[in-house]
Amino acid sequence: MAATDTTPLVALRDIRKSYGDVEVLRGVSFDVHRGEVVCLIGPSGSGKTTLVRCINHLEKIQSGRITVDGELIGYREHKGRIIEDSETRIADRRQKIGMVFQRFNLFPHLTALENITVGPVRVQGRDLKTVTAEALELLARVKLADRASHYPSQLSGGQQQRVAIARALAMKPAVMLFDEPTSALDPETVGEVLEVMKELAQAGTTMIVVTHEMGFARDVANRIVMMDQGAVVEIGSAEQIFTNPQQERTRAFFKAMR
Amino acid sequence: MSGDFNIDTAFFLKYLFNPPAIIWKGLWLTIWISVVAQALGVAIGLLIALCIRSKRAWLRGFGKFYVWVWRGTPLLVQLVLIYTGVAAAGFYKYPDIQIGPFTLTGPLQAALITLSLNEAAYMAEIFRAALSSIDKGQFDAARALGMRPITAMRWIILPQAARMVVPPLGNEFTLMIKGTSLLAILGIRELFGTLQQLNAATFRTFELFIIAAIWYLILTTIMGFVQKRLEAHYGRYDQPTADSKAKPGLRSLFSGQR
Ligand SMILES: Nc1ncnc2c1ncn2[C@@H]1O[C@H](COP(=O)(O)OP(=O)(O)O)[C@@H](O)[C@H]1O
Ligand SMILES: [Mg+2]
């Protein structure tokens, strides 16, 4: 992290989100700086998935503001008022935000390689040859160099998730979002995905990771955000949250995890 | 059957194996009308399906109304209404249209318009079912890569929908080929109209209609082969593994719907 760079890469300010009458995010604020890994933890239903989906505007928010790299996401200011952005502009903004889903969501009709190249080629209009070379490097980075021409249905869950990570990285995003990337996996393939994520973190990738893998959070996260019932309960360094949680709800959550 | 029922074998064999030029012309007319009307029906049907899935209420209303009207009335009635009604009301007089060496006569124009619009209603329902069976995660993943709606549709959603559309599309095309026989009512000399015309001159009804049946059977059988090839093409990534969540029952849902 550059010491001089104090503007956050991702800034969340008082995010509120409701489904009908139910408010699932109740004023969430925190910052993520360049090169930082922030893990979101908290009980099921606390709004973690909703929050990450709001960051790239897969979900609309009712109030608050989200900026990535200084640019407002999903909305723009027009004569002092905030209005929703056009689909086109929202789509352009999303290129800066990589996302990895719990259920992989690989494109089943494309090979592993094509899953990775489709974004740079079809969205960024880049040259297929260059993109393919980069994609092969990315596949090697997620240790799947020998699976380039496999379709998702021919890959294990852990392999699919690693392709999904490579697919997101191919867009060269400024920040990567992970929504419980290992919770749909067989236990024996969890490790290989966490390993790839750990290497990404070490390479300085800015990451926001929703996870129930406390070992990973402890080892890799710079900061932990503990959420409950749509609000941030506490934020602290991994060290502080795990050894000395300030809030009763955090302690109760850890107890329930064990 | 009565005793005076006789088959003129020589006549039959001559018309079957050495058909006069007008039969070839009729056959050609049947084929190109079917292909053009089906292609237009697919394109318009997709647009109607997208209307039905639209966020805008008036587009949804229009799409549903369209399908309701065109599916709820007989093709024969539609043909006559479009040909006589539109001209009578003075909207459009069906002047001959010259396309290169081809002359598109008024009845042919009315036939193509009616068959396409009618087919679009059925294709819309087929597309709608196929699109709604695609996992929501596919839309999320496409959007998260920064794809605009049209890009996502073209490269991610439609290729997957195509696989589900091909089997019912084959049915539709078979029905289309058979359905063109109704065009005789507008005086169009497609295969059936031509044989009717020959019948009026020769009174060899049974022989001629057997020949008609044989030709329709040949066309629909060729169609069946093409369909198999297409299905294999679109199913190439479909290698069921323990992981893949196949959607059984969808194909059976489509078969024999009309
Ligand atoms: N599409 C939706 N419609 C209505 N309620 C939803 C929807 N998605 C999530 N919720 C609700 O929002 C709350 C937060 O869900 P979620 O963000 O998935 O939590 P987490 O990821 O922390 O388990 C839950 O109460 C859930 O039932
Ligand atoms: Mg969740």
Question: What pLDDT sits at residue A5?
Answer: 61
**Mean pLDDT computed over A221-232:** 96
Tens digits of per-residue pLDDT, B215-224?
A: 999 999 998 8
**Mean pLDDT computed over B96-112:** 86
Question: What pLDDT sits at residue B19?
Answer: 86
In the predicted model, is pLDDT for residue B256 greater than 50? no
**Mean pLDDT computed over A150-160:** 96
Round to whole Å and give the CA distance between A220 and A218: 6
Q: By percentage, how much of chain B surpasses pLDDT 90?
A: 53
Mutate which of A68, A90, A107 to disrupt the B interface (most B C-beta within 10 Å)?
Answer: A107
Q: Taking a contact as any Cβ pair under 8 Å apart, which residues of chain A between 44 and 83 contact chain B?
A: 56, 58
**Mean pLDDT computed over B188-204:** 88
Does residue A211 have its Cβ closer than 6 Å to ligand 1? no
Round to whole Å and give the CA distance between A55 and A175: 10
Q: Tell the residue number behind the tokens 């194996």, with chain if given.
A: B17
Confidence grade of residue A243 (pLDDT, cut at 50, 70, 90): very high
Using a CB cutoff of 5 Å, list residues around ligand 2, an ion: A 49
Does residue A21 have its Cβ closer than 6 Å to ligand 1? no
Question: What pLDDT sits at residue B84?
Answer: 87
Distances (CA, A) of B79 to A235, B86, B117, B187: 70, 11, 11, 12
Question: Is the CB of residue A235 less than 8 Å from the CB of residue A247?
Answer: no
Question: What pLDDT sits at residue B251?
Answer: 44
In the predicted model, is pLDDT for residue A212 greater than 80? yes
pLDDT-wise least confident of A65-79, A114-128, A200-214, B118-132: A65-79
Round to whole Å and give the CA distance between A176 and A196: 13
Question: What pLDDT sits at residue A83?
Answer: 87
Q: By percentage, how much of chain B surpasses pLDDT 70?
A: 90
Tens digits of per-residue pLDDT, B12-49?
A: 888 888 888 888 999 999 999 999 999 999 999 999 99
Interface ipTM above 0.85: yes
In the predicted model, is pLDDT for residue A157 greater than 50? yes
Question: What pLDDT sits at residue B177?
Answer: 92
Question: What pLDDT sits at residue A37?
Answer: 97
Query: What is the overall mean pLDDT for chain A?
Result: 94
Round to whole Å and give the CA distance between A71 and A9: 10
Confidence grade of residue B239 (pLDDT, cut at 50, 70, 90): low
Question: What pLDDT sits at residue B125?
Answer: 96
In the predicted model, is pLDDT for residue B4 greater than 80? no
Confidence grade of residue B1 (pLDDT, cut at 50, 70, 90): very low
Question: Tokens standing for A73?
Answer: 């996401």
Question: Is the CB of residue A135 less than 8 Å from the CB of residue A116?
Answer: yes
DSSP H helical ranges for chain A: 48-55, 87-94, 112-122, 128-141, 157-169, 187-202, 214-220, 238-243, 248-257
Question: What pLDDT sits at residue B217?
Answer: 93
In the predicted model, is pLDDT for residue B134 greater than 60? yes
Question: What pLDDT sits at residue A151?
Answer: 95
Separation of CA A178 and ligand 2 centre (Å): 10
Question: Is the CB of residue A94 less than 8 Å from the CB of residue B143?
Answer: yes
Residue A234: how many CB atoms within 10 A of its CB?
A: 16
Largest CA distance in chain A: 55
Separation of CA A21 and ligand 1 centre (Å): 13
In the predicted model, is pLDDT for residue B253 greater than 50? no
Does residue A50 have its Cβ closer than 6 Å to ligand 1? yes
Q: Tell the residue number behind the tokens 């969430």, with chain if given.
A: A28
**Mean pLDDT computed over A149-165:** 96
**Mean pLDDT computed over B188-198:** 89
Round to whole Å and give the CA distance between B230 and A120: 28
Confidence grade of residue A147 (pLDDT, cut at 50, 70, 90): very high
Round to whole Å and give the CA distance between A49 and A63: 18
DSSP A4-44: T--S-SEEEEEEEEEETTEEEEEEEEEEE-TT-EEEEE--T
**Mean pLDDT computed over B157-182:** 93
3-state SS assignment for residue B193: helix
Separation of CA A211 and ligand 2 centre (Å): 9
Round to whole Å and give the CA distance between A119 and A170: 7
**Mean pLDDT computed over A107-136:** 97
Asked if A119 lies within 8 A of B146 by C-beta distance, the reply is yes
Query: What is the overall mean pLDDT for chain B?
Result: 87
Minimal CA separation from A5 to chain B, in Å: 27
In the predicted model, is pLDDT for residue A120 greater than 80? yes
**Mean pLDDT computed over A117-126:** 97
